[in-house]
Amino acid sequence: MKNIAIPALIILGMMLVLLTGCGESTFSVKGVVSGANGQIMYFENVGISSTTILDSVKLTAAGKFSFKQARPEYPDFYRLRLNNQWINFAIDSTETLTFAADAGTFATSYTVEGSENAKAIKAITLAQLDANQAIGKLRKEREGNLIPDTTYSEQILTVAEAYKEVARKYIYGAPMTTAAYFALFQQIDGLLFFDLYNKDDSKAFGAVATSYDHYYPKSLRSKQLHNLALQSIKIIRQQRAVVPEETNIQEIGYLDISLPNVQGDNISLSSVATNKVVLINFTAYQTEWSPSLNMDLADLNSKYDEKGLVIYQVSLDSDTHYWKNVASNIPWVCVRDPESVYSQVAALYNVRQLPALFLLDRKGNLVKRIDDMNTLDADVKKLL
């Protein structure tokens, strides 16, 4: 009996180990970064409205690193950050990604194995960086009076179109992938390449939204895309002055925001917007126009606060201390996005310049993007 029992226990133990290994639901990110001895590299999760540090490592001369995390319930985005450079990638399963990079060209010259999506995201990133450099060069030429404004505007559009040509290959080629989502939300100087309120660009949002609805119906990103696409269609049709009965557009919810206030408490848009008319304002207190804007908002708040108006102000200031000093004296809801000009929340609302103001009706529908401050009081009064 003893000769039989001992091997049986060993076999049972081996089976348990194998079963445990098969059931492991994690993904791995590993590799080598040369030329970064003594530097700290961070492994981060890039959410819809915030970025969270998951782990970090102090690199040695050998440069080897290895991270492991639980696989996300739905495809999600991550990045490796070294100083002010980062490598973006996405995870949708229990894959193992292997990176090789140099500290000096960390964000551009890396290689990645183990994910075709990660390779696609690299190609999209390089196209975005090319556009970034081209626009930077054009801006300097305009500031130096080397090119007229008309030429500058025309060439900016050409550069943006070059990026979108690359992006469309991934968006329409495989709209259900994280690469398509990533391509859709790339920006330059805080501005999305794809404009929600442009009828051609709207099709790109629709393509990705439809695919995400089908493959990941319960994902938060799917819900955001769904709302974005429908709001885009609605506003474009309103711009074309189509009779509402002809549009057959369903009522949709707003794009929720949840960011910290001065006290550090996360205040969501949804928590203050129920049955209210909401004025969303993306701003930066360190700008010269901010005091004047806040005076206008103060007048508006004083007139309509008790009648159902809520002002939800999102600061994109990079200086936390400065923001707190100003925001502590403001009577309406004021939150701050630490991502500053790289704000994904601002990108979702397609903020193309500051200040940016949007009106939501009591049902939570985005009904107007304010282009003329002179009409703001009348616009608010009409909704109330």
Q: Angle, to 10 degrees, between the axis of helix 376-383 and the axis of helix 290-304? A: 30
Residues 242 and 281 in one domain: no
Does residue 150 contact residue 185 with C-beta atoms inside 8 Å?
A: no
Both 69 and 33 in one domain: the answer is: yes
User: Which pLDDT does position 244 carry in this prediction?
Assistant: 37
Please give the pLDDT value at position 248: 36
In this structure, the answer to whether residues 288 and 234 fall within a common structural domain is no
Residue 126 burial (10 A CB sphere; 0-12, 13-18, 19+): middle
Confidence (pLDDT) at 24: 66
* 95 and 179 co-located in one domain: no
Q: Determine the residue type at 242.
A: V
Question: Would you call 192 helix, strand, or coil by DSSP?
Answer: strand
In a domain, 19, yes or no: no
Structure tokens at 150: 């008309």
How do 51-58 and 64-70 pair as beta strands? unpaired
- Please give the pLDDT value at position 128: 93
- Residue where a domain terminates, one of 212, 247, 282: 247
Task: Return the DSSP state at 159.
Answer: H
Statement to judge: residues 372 and 288 lie in one domain: yes
In a domain, 221, yes or no: yes
The count of domains in the chain is 3
Which pLDDT score is estimated for 283? 92
Check residue 293 and give its pLDDT.
92
Q: How many beta carbons lie within 10 A of that of residue 334, not counting itself?
A: 25
**Same domain? 161 vs 229:** yes
Q: What is the pLDDT of residue 199?
A: 78
323 within domain boundaries: yes
Mean pLDDT by 10 residues, the chain (384 residues): 41 41 78 96 92 96 96 96 95 94 95 95 95 89 84 86 93 92 84 80 88 90 86 66 37 71 90 90 89 91 91 90 87 90 74 85 84 87 88
Q: Is residue 13 part of a domain?
A: no
Same domain assignment for residues 206 and 162: yes
- Please give the Cα distance from 202 to 204 (Å, whole number): 5
Amino acid code (one letter) for 236: I
Q: Is residue 118 part of a domain?
A: no
From 247, 272, 306, give the residue that closes a domain: 247
Its domain, for residue 65, covers: 26-112
Euclidean distance between CA atoms 49 and 215, whole angstroms: 22
| In 175-308, beta strands by DSSP E | 187-188, 191-192, 258-260, 266-268, 277-283
Residues 272 and 167 in one domain: no
Residue 85 included in any domain = yes
pLDDT of residue 39: 97
